[in-house]
DNA sequence: ATCCCGAGGG
DNA sequence: CCCTCTGGAT
Protein backbone atom coordinates (compact mmCIF):
# COMPACT_ATOMS: atom_id res chain seq x y z
CA UNK A 1 0.00 0.00 0.00
CA UNK A 2 1.26 3.50 -0.83
CA UNK A 3 1.06 6.65 1.25
CA UNK A 4 -1.66 8.19 -0.90
CA UNK A 5 -4.01 5.25 -0.39
CA UNK A 6 -3.13 5.06 3.30
CA UNK A 7 -3.98 8.74 3.61
CA UNK A 8 -7.32 8.09 1.94
CA UNK A 9 -8.07 5.30 4.44
CA UNK A 10 -7.29 7.70 7.27
CA UNK A 11 -9.54 10.38 5.77
CA UNK A 12 -12.52 8.08 5.31
CA UNK A 13 -12.28 6.43 8.72
CA UNK A 14 -11.97 9.86 10.35
CA UNK A 15 -15.17 10.88 8.58
CA UNK A 16 -16.88 7.69 9.76
CA UNK A 17 -15.66 7.98 13.36
CA UNK A 18 -15.22 11.70 14.08
CA UNK A 19 -12.77 12.78 16.76
CA UNK A 20 -14.50 15.40 18.90
CA UNK A 21 -12.40 17.81 20.97
CA UNK A 22 -9.30 15.75 20.21
CA UNK A 23 -10.70 12.91 22.29
CA UNK A 24 -9.77 9.56 20.81
CA UNK A 25 -11.59 7.78 23.55
CA UNK A 26 -13.59 4.68 22.83
CA UNK A 27 -13.71 3.86 26.45
CA UNK A 28 -15.26 6.82 28.25
CA UNK A 29 -12.03 8.16 29.65
CA UNK A 30 -12.05 11.50 31.40
CA UNK A 31 -8.59 12.19 32.79
CA UNK A 32 -5.04 10.77 32.80
CA UNK A 33 -5.56 8.83 36.04
CA UNK A 34 -8.66 7.08 34.70
CA UNK A 35 -7.02 6.56 31.34
CA UNK A 36 -4.04 4.89 32.99
CA UNK A 37 -6.12 2.62 35.21
CA UNK A 38 -8.60 1.63 32.51
CA UNK A 39 -5.86 0.97 30.00
CA UNK A 40 -4.07 -1.33 32.45
CA UNK A 41 -7.35 -3.13 33.10
CA UNK A 42 -8.03 -3.41 29.35
CA UNK A 43 -5.16 -5.80 28.71
CA UNK A 44 -6.41 -8.99 27.08
CA UNK A 45 -10.03 -8.07 27.78
CA UNK A 46 -12.93 -6.38 26.02
CA UNK A 47 -13.83 -2.71 26.37
CA UNK A 48 -17.35 -3.78 27.33
CA UNK A 49 -16.08 -5.72 30.32
CA UNK A 50 -13.94 -2.78 31.45
CA UNK A 51 -16.73 -0.24 31.04
CA UNK A 52 -18.96 -2.46 33.17
CA UNK A 53 -16.74 -2.02 36.23
CA UNK A 54 -15.67 1.55 35.59
CA UNK A 55 -18.26 3.50 37.55
CA UNK A 56 -18.03 1.41 40.70
CA UNK A 57 -14.24 1.52 40.63
CA UNK A 58 -13.91 5.29 40.30
CA UNK A 59 -16.77 5.99 42.68
CA UNK A 60 -14.71 4.27 45.38
CA UNK A 61 -11.26 5.37 44.18
CA UNK A 62 -11.68 8.71 42.41
CA UNK A 63 -8.01 9.73 42.64
CA UNK A 64 -4.54 8.14 42.56
CA UNK A 65 -4.25 8.95 46.29
CA UNK A 66 -7.44 7.03 47.11
CA UNK A 67 -6.37 3.99 45.10
CA UNK A 68 -2.86 4.14 46.56
CA UNK A 69 -4.32 3.80 50.06
CA UNK A 70 -6.32 0.70 49.12
CA UNK A 71 -5.20 -2.91 49.42
CA UNK A 72 -5.35 -5.04 46.26
CA UNK A 73 -7.59 -7.52 48.11
CA UNK A 74 -10.33 -4.92 48.53
CA UNK A 75 -10.08 -3.80 44.89
CA UNK A 76 -10.36 -7.34 43.54
CA UNK A 77 -14.10 -7.86 43.98
CA UNK A 78 -14.82 -4.62 42.12
CA UNK A 79 -13.06 -5.87 38.98
CA UNK A 80 -13.84 -9.57 39.35
CA UNK A 81 -15.71 -9.77 36.02
CA UNK A 82 -12.92 -8.57 33.73
CA UNK A 83 -10.55 -11.52 34.04
CA UNK A 84 -7.00 -11.49 35.44
CA UNK A 85 -8.50 -9.57 38.35
CA UNK A 86 -5.99 -10.65 40.99
CA UNK A 87 -3.01 -9.59 38.91
CA UNK A 88 -4.70 -6.41 37.74
CA UNK A 89 -5.75 -5.38 41.25
CA UNK A 90 -2.10 -5.58 42.27
CA UNK A 91 -1.06 -3.67 39.16
CA UNK A 92 -3.43 -0.73 39.49
CA UNK A 93 -2.82 -0.30 43.22
CA UNK A 94 0.92 -0.54 42.63
CA UNK A 95 0.72 1.92 39.77
CA UNK A 96 -1.31 4.38 41.86
CA UNK A 97 1.20 4.11 44.70
CA UNK A 98 4.10 4.80 42.39
CA UNK A 99 2.30 7.74 40.80
CA UNK A 100 1.72 9.21 44.25
CA UNK A 101 5.10 8.36 45.79
CA UNK A 102 7.41 9.04 42.87
CA UNK A 103 5.60 11.27 40.40
CA UNK A 104 3.88 13.76 42.69
CA UNK A 105 0.42 12.34 42.10
CA UNK A 106 0.58 13.07 38.36
CA UNK A 107 0.52 10.39 35.68
CA UNK A 108 3.92 10.65 33.96
CA UNK A 109 4.11 11.80 30.35
CA UNK A 110 7.11 9.89 29.06
CA UNK A 111 7.49 6.32 27.87
CA UNK A 112 10.43 5.73 30.17
CA UNK A 113 8.54 6.80 33.29
CA UNK A 114 5.32 5.02 32.37
CA UNK A 115 7.21 1.76 31.88
CA UNK A 116 8.24 1.92 35.54
CA UNK A 117 4.61 1.47 36.61
CA UNK A 118 3.50 -2.10 37.31
CA UNK A 119 1.15 -3.43 34.66
CA UNK A 120 2.35 -0.93 32.08
CA UNK A 121 4.22 -2.25 29.07
CA UNK A 122 4.95 -0.63 25.74
CA UNK A 123 1.41 -1.00 24.38
CA UNK A 124 -0.29 0.36 27.45
CA UNK A 125 2.20 3.23 27.67
CA UNK A 126 1.63 4.09 24.01
CA UNK A 127 -2.11 4.22 24.50
CA UNK A 128 -1.93 6.29 27.68
CA UNK A 129 0.41 8.82 26.06
CA UNK A 130 -1.75 9.05 22.96
CA UNK A 131 -5.15 9.18 24.59
CA UNK A 132 -4.43 11.11 27.76
CA UNK A 133 -1.82 13.56 26.47
CA UNK A 134 -1.94 13.40 22.68
CA UNK A 135 1.73 12.41 22.70
CA UNK A 136 2.37 9.91 19.91
CA UNK A 137 5.65 8.08 20.26
CA UNK A 138 4.59 5.07 18.21
CA UNK A 139 1.61 2.97 17.31
CA UNK A 140 0.23 0.40 19.75
CA UNK A 141 -0.38 -2.79 17.83
CA UNK A 142 -3.17 -4.77 19.44
CA UNK A 143 -5.14 -7.52 17.74
CA UNK A 144 -7.45 -5.03 16.04
CA UNK A 145 -4.63 -2.93 14.65
CA UNK A 146 -2.81 -6.07 13.53
CA UNK A 147 -5.85 -7.57 11.81
CA UNK A 148 -6.84 -4.41 9.94
CA UNK A 149 -3.27 -3.61 8.97
CA UNK A 150 -2.95 -7.02 7.37
CA UNK A 151 -6.35 -6.99 5.67
CA UNK A 152 -6.08 -3.46 4.31
CA UNK A 153 -2.53 -4.07 3.15
CA UNK A 154 -0.63 -1.66 5.41
CA UNK A 155 1.69 -4.56 6.14
CA UNK A 156 2.38 -8.11 5.06
CA UNK A 157 3.50 -9.25 8.47
CA UNK A 158 1.71 -10.54 11.52
CA UNK A 159 4.61 -9.74 13.83
CA UNK A 160 3.51 -6.77 16.00
CA UNK A 161 6.95 -5.13 15.96
CA UNK A 162 7.17 -5.28 12.18
CA UNK A 163 3.58 -4.06 11.84
CA UNK A 164 4.36 -1.06 14.01
CA UNK A 165 7.46 -0.33 11.94
CA UNK A 166 5.42 -0.50 8.72
CA UNK A 167 2.65 1.72 10.08
CA UNK A 168 5.10 4.27 11.45
CA UNK A 169 6.76 4.42 8.04
CA UNK A 170 3.45 4.67 6.19
CA UNK A 171 1.74 7.41 8.19
CA UNK A 172 2.93 10.88 9.21
CA UNK A 173 3.56 11.23 12.92
CA UNK A 174 0.66 13.61 13.52
CA UNK A 175 -1.91 10.94 12.62
CA UNK A 176 -0.43 8.02 14.58
CA UNK A 177 -2.87 8.58 17.42
CA UNK A 178 -5.74 8.82 14.94
CA UNK A 179 -4.74 5.59 13.24
CA UNK A 180 -4.53 3.77 16.55
CA UNK A 181 -8.00 4.88 17.50
CA UNK A 182 -9.62 4.52 14.09
CA UNK A 183 -8.36 1.02 13.35
CA UNK A 184 -9.51 -0.25 16.72
CA UNK A 185 -12.84 1.49 16.36
CA UNK A 186 -13.41 0.16 12.85
CA UNK A 187 -12.21 -3.29 13.90
CA UNK A 188 -14.78 -3.49 16.67
CA UNK A 189 -17.71 -2.24 14.62
CA UNK A 190 -17.13 -3.52 11.08
CA UNK A 191 -13.85 -5.31 10.37
CA UNK A 192 -14.41 -7.99 12.99
CA UNK A 193 -12.30 -11.11 13.34
CA UNK A 194 -15.21 -13.32 12.31
CA UNK A 195 -17.87 -12.36 9.76
CA UNK A 196 -16.54 -8.93 8.79
CA UNK A 197 -19.29 -6.64 7.50
CA UNK A 198 -17.95 -5.73 4.06
CA UNK A 199 -21.24 -4.11 3.01
CA UNK A 200 -20.90 -1.54 5.79
CA UNK A 201 -17.17 -0.89 5.26
CA UNK A 202 -16.22 2.54 3.95
CA UNK A 203 -12.78 1.37 2.78
CA UNK A 204 -13.79 -1.95 1.19
CA UNK A 205 -12.77 -0.72 -2.27
CA UNK A 206 -9.25 -0.06 -0.96
CA UNK A 207 -8.96 -3.32 0.96
CA UNK A 208 -6.62 -6.07 -0.15
CA UNK A 209 -8.44 -8.74 1.83
CA UNK A 210 -11.82 -7.82 0.31
CA UNK A 211 -10.32 -7.77 -3.18
CA UNK A 212 -8.85 -11.24 -2.64
CA UNK A 213 -12.19 -12.58 -1.43
CA UNK A 214 -13.89 -11.31 -4.58
CA UNK A 215 -11.13 -12.70 -6.81
CA UNK A 216 -11.78 -16.07 -5.23
CA UNK A 217 -15.38 -15.71 -6.31
CA UNK A 218 -16.85 -15.26 -2.88
C1' DA B 1 -13.77 -23.45 20.88
C1' DT B 2 -12.03 -18.64 20.25
C1' DC B 3 -11.27 -14.02 21.21
C1' DC B 4 -10.52 -9.73 23.82
C1' DC B 5 -6.43 -2.46 23.52
C1' DG B 6 -0.64 -7.70 27.63
C1' DA B 7 2.56 -7.86 31.29
C1' DG B 8 5.55 -10.28 34.36
C1' DG B 9 8.22 -13.95 35.52
C1' DG B 10 10.90 -18.31 34.73
C1' DC C 1 11.81 -18.44 24.32
C1' DC C 2 8.04 -20.27 27.22
C1' DC C 3 4.23 -20.11 30.74
C1' DT C 4 0.62 -18.07 33.83
C1' DC C 5 -2.95 -15.06 35.07
C1' DT C 6 -8.73 -14.98 34.32
C1' DG C 7 -13.87 -14.10 32.99
C1' DG C 8 -17.41 -13.01 29.72
C1' DA C 9 -19.29 -12.72 25.01
C1' DT C 10 -20.11 -14.98 20.77
Active site residue A161: no
pLDDT of residue A22: 54
Question: Taking the C1' atom of C10, which residue's CA lies nearest?
Answer: A194
Which positions in strand C are less than 7 Å from the protein's CB atoms? 5-9
Reported confidence tier of residue A205, pLDDT bands at 50, 70, 90: very high
DSSP, residue by residue, A10-70: HHHHHHHS--BTTB--SS---SHHHHHHHHHHTTTS-HHHHHHHHHHHHHH--SHHHHHHS
pLDDT tens for A132-142 read 888 888 888 88
Task: Evaluate the CA torsion angle A204, A24, A59, A105 in order and state its sign.
Answer: positive
Q: Cα–Cα–Cα angle for A17, A20, A22, nearest 5°?
A: 110
Taking the model in full, what pTM does it have? 0.83
Architecture of domain A32-133: Orthogonal Bundle (1.10)
Domain boundaries, chain A: 3-19+139-215, 32-133
Is-catalytic flag, A142? Answer: yes
| Topology at the third CATH level for domain A3-19+139-215 | Endonuclease Iii, domain 2 (1.10.1670)
- In whole angstroms, how far apart are CA A22 and each of A8, A9, A70? 20, 19, 33
Phi, psi torsion values for A105, nearest 5 degrees: 80, 0
Residue A178 pLDDT > 90, yes or no? no
Cα–Cα dist A53/A159, whole Å:
32
Instruction: Give the dihedral sign, CA A94/A134/A136/A200.
Output: positive
Instruction: Give A209 CA → C10 C1' in Å.
Output: 23
pLDDT for A21 beyond 70: no
Please report, for residues A18, A147, A164, A166, A212, the alpha-carbon distance to residue A154 in angstroms, rounded to integers and kept in the order given.
22, 10, 10, 7, 15
Catalytic residue (one of A98, A142, A166, A178): A142
Q: Which of residues 134-163 of A touch strand B (CB under 7 A)?
A: 140, 142-144, 147
Higher pLDDT pick, A187 / A101:
A101
**Mean pLDDT, residues A146-155 taken together:** 91
Write out pLDDT tens, residues A49-85.
998 999 999 999 999 999 999 999 999 999 999 999 9
The residue lying closest to nucleotide B7, measuring its CA against C1', is A119
Q: Is the pLDDT of residue A31 over 80?
A: yes
What pLDDT digit, counting tens, does each position of A90-109 carry? 999 999 999 999 999 999 99
A27 pLDDT band, cuts 50/70/90, is very low
pLDDT score of A24: 56
- pLDDT at A28 exceeding the cut of 70: no
DSSP one-letter code for A216 = T
Q: What is the DSSP string of A103-151?
A: STTS---SHHHHTTSTT--HHHHHHHHHHHH---SS----HHHHHHHHH
Amino acid sequence: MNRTTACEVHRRLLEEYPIVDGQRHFLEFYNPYETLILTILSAQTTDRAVNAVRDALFARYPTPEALARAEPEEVEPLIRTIGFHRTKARHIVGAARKVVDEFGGEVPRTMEELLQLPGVGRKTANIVLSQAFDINVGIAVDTHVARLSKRLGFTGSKNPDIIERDLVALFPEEVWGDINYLLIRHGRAVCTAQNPKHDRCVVADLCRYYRELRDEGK
